[in-house]
Amino acid sequence: MASISLRNVVKRYGHGAKANPVIHGVNAEIADGEFVVIVGPSGCGKSTLLRMVAGLEEISGGEIAIADRVVNQVEPADRDIAMVFQNYALYPHMSVFENMAYGLKIRKLPPEQIRARVDKAAGILELGHLLERRPRELSGGQRQRVAMGRAIVRDPQVFLFDEPLSNLDAKLRVQTRLEIQKLHRELGVTSLFVTHDQVEAMTLAQRIVVMNAGRMEQFGTPEEVYGRPATTFVASFIGSPAMNLLKGRAEADAAGARFVIGDVALPLPHPAPRTGDLILGLRPEHALPHDGQAVAADAADIASWPLRVEMVEMLGAERLVYGRLGDAAFTLRIDGTDTPPRPGDVVLLKAPAERLHWFDAATGQRVD
């Protein structure tokens, strides 16, 4: 097992005037045995970063260290890592056993050791009864497990995963996600896992790197990136439906504190961290509808805002209520068993002070 250090890592494709920078200086310390997920939209540089750790892409600037050894110049085969891709590319003419054993055979391990390692991995992945089958006789989920088995038998210091679940249907994705968690619990191998899916990131990660356009926006636990997003990008990327982000102007005077959106002034329970242009964030699940009574009791920490309802969606366990606060679009999430409002209704929302997030209007950085 090993730690991974990314120190001001830069990647440019091409040279000279044609150079295209895609990673702009990423810093991260991944602890020995930690499971870290890199999440971000398509094209933000996730695979590039992972491939630099693997040694499949040259590093244009900065340093990558695995187990305290700088690996910038180290060949992929000498980095003691194993990688699992979205396209698992098994050898079609080989059995599951042979697919898993192949890399070890190449490295000339004695047959009884190969047997032992494959059996152990097959046990962990519940592939024991499938060892004699060919890949075409397996389901997509089973094939992906074989691909993971191939990585496990190598007993590497680091696992790298590049969107390994993207080709699976929704149900299998959830199941395989649980298997990867179990795998990490049992083996404790340092893992870097890339995905564009924030649910995968939240459920798998001990810590999450949120990337946007080649930059790291935040590196924190799932609780931190959800509870205290560092930027509006993280706020809108993590959580579904996304956090409501309202552009407006914070004011405070003798009459109280407000947030002004167009010609609507929303009262604030406490003044914003500063006055002037700001972005106010509130998650759909944290704005609760109320009947006007409940708020009076703890009015000091809760504001009441009128939401004009436009549309309601039933999702089963919950309903999404789409509406407007003044001109600004706002989504509210309510329990599926609650009586829903109707389009045209005005619903009063409770906006608890501790659930409000503030961001700089120009930079999108969190303001506390």
Ligand X SMILES: Nc1ncnc2c1ncn2[C@@H]1O[C@H](COP(=O)(O)OP(=O)(O)O)[C@@H](O)[C@H]1O
- Site residues, ligand X (CB under 6 A): 13, 20, 22, 40, 42-48
> Is residue 157 a contact partner of residue 2, using CB atoms and an 8 Å limit?
yes
Which residue, 123, 345, 7, 275, is CA-closest to 334?
A: 345
CB 177 → Mg ion: shortest distance, Å? 18
Identify what 42 binds: ligand X, Mg ion, none; CB under 5 to 8 Å per kind. ligand X
User: Which option in Mg ion, ligand X, none does residue 149 bind, with CB closer than 5 to 8 A by kind?
Assistant: none
351: helix, strand or coil: strand
* C-beta closer to ligand X: residue 99 or 218: 218
Q: Which does 164 bind (CB under 5 to 8 A by kind): ligand X, Mg ion, none?
A: none
Shortest approach of ligand X to residue 277 CB, angstroms? Answer: 32
For Mg ion, the closer of residues 43 and 227 by Cβ is: 43
Q: Is 195 in the site for Mg ion (CB under 5 A)?
A: no
What, of ligand X, Mg ion, none, does residue 43 touch, CB below 5 to 8 Å by kind? ligand X
Do the Cβ atoms of 314 and 296 come closer than 8 Å? no
By CB under 5 A, how many residues form the interface with Mg ion?
A: 1
Neighbouring C-beta atoms of residue 146, cutoff 10 Å: 24
* One-letter amino acid of 72: N
User: What's the sign of the alpha-carbon dihedral 116, 121, 125, 130?
Assistant: negative
Could you say which residues in the range 1-60 bind Mg ion, by CB under 5 A? 47
Residue 118 vs 205, nearer CB to Mg ion: 205
Q: Residue 342 CB, nearest distance to Mg ion (Å)?
A: 43
Four-residue CA torsion sign, 292, 296, 297, 301? positive
Of 47 and 231, nearer to Mg ion (C-beta) is 47
Instruction: Choose among 293, 283, 291, 297: nearest CA to 351.
Output: 283
Q: Which does 286 bind (CB under 5 to 8 A by kind): ligand X, Mg ion, none?
A: none
Beta carbon of residue 34, minimum distance to ligand X (angstroms, whole number):
21
Question: How far from chain centre, in Å, is Cα 126?
Answer: 27
- To which H or E segment does residue 331 belong? strand 328-335
Q: Closer to ligand X at the Cβ: 10 or 348?
A: 10
Instruction: DSSP letter for 365, please.
Output: B
Residue 247 bridge partners (DSSP): 279
Q: Is the dihedral of CA 72, 75, 78, 83 positive or negative?
A: positive
x/- map, 119-158, Mg ion, by CB under 5 A: ----------------------------------------
The residue among 308, 305, 291, 310 whose CA lies nearest residue 356 is: 305
Instruction: Name which of ligand X, Mg ion, none residue 45 binds, using a CB cut-off of 5 to 8 Å depending on partner kind.
Output: ligand X
Query: Which positions lie near Mg ion, rule CB under 5 A?
Result: 47
